[in-house]
Structure 1
Amino acid sequence: MKLNKDPNQQQLARLFILAGSSTPQEAVRVAAVIAEFVSDNGWSSIEAEDRLAHAMSLVRVQAPKVVHENAVQVWRTLVGLD
Structure 2
Amino acid sequence: MVLVLILIAILIVGICLVVTKKNKRARVMVGIVLILFSFLNYPVISPFFIRWNGLEGTVSLIIFNLVVLLGGITTLSMGVLCIVQSRKY
TM-score after normalising by structure 2:
0.45
**Bigger Rg, structure 1 or 2:** 2
